[in-house]
Amino acid sequence: MDATTAFAAAFAVTAAGAAVAHFAVRAGAASTRVPRVPDGSAWLQTHQRRAETYAAFVEPADQIGHILETWPALPPAARQPQRKAAYEHLQTLRHRQAAVILDSGPDVRAAAQQLHDECERLVRGLDLYAPPGPVDESVRGLAMPFLRACREYLEAESEQHFGLRSSGRSLFGRLATR
């Protein structure tokens, strides 16, 4: 046998052995692979965590709404502490917005940004020397667009993962009551 024929024979045997080893490893890996079944309780916990995050984000916005609602009825001497509290709630809202952004879809993120911007605009517009007047009820539904976006996002995700359309009360009780 000449050197070229010996080299070709050795190469063919090595390639065949490598191919057999490759298929054996793939077959072994495929047989030990366990199909991954989605865990319903893990998804439920994720949904509940998100609902709690959204509710926590809305709390400072609600506090800002209460301050804005009663602002015209406050005497000028009581307005400075309320304005300071409104700025503190705005800072809390800004910090909690990060958690919403990290764990939400684009519609919820946009609604969170819109709520933050609206609260910031309204708080910065508080006038200590504005004339007294009746309670301002126009800011009552300040967080409703955000809550609507959250509810739609959670219900769509629930339908995708669980195959059901909930009324919002069972999985997302805190959001449904707002």
Q: 127 vs 135, which has greater pLDDT?
A: 127
Placement of tokens 């490598």 in the chain:
18
Provide the sign of the torsion angle of the four alpha carbons 140, 175, 94, 156, taken in this order. Answer: negative
For the chain, what percent of residues have pLDDT higher than 90? 39
Q: What is the pLDDT of residue 147?
A: 92
Q: Kindly tell me if the per-residue pLDDT of 89 is higher than 60.
A: yes
In whole angstroms, give the CA distance from residue 96 to residue 118.
Answer: 15
- Answer whether residue 4 shows pLDDT above 90: no
Residues 94 and 153 in one domain: yes
66 & 25 share domain: no
pLDDT score at 168:
47
Are 169 and 144 in a shared domain? yes
24 shares its domain with 60: no
Domain count, the chain: 2
pTM over the 0.75 mark: no
Based on the domain organization, do 53 and 141 belong to the same domain?
A: yes
Question: By residue range, what is the domain housing residue 84?
Answer: 40-176
On whether both 27 and 45 belong to a single domain, the answer is: no
**28 and 112 part of one domain:** no
CA-nearest of 66, 114, 116 to 96 is 116
Of the pLDDT bands very low, low, confident and very high (cuts 50, 70, 90), residue 156 is: confident
* Mean pLDDT over the full length of the chain: 80
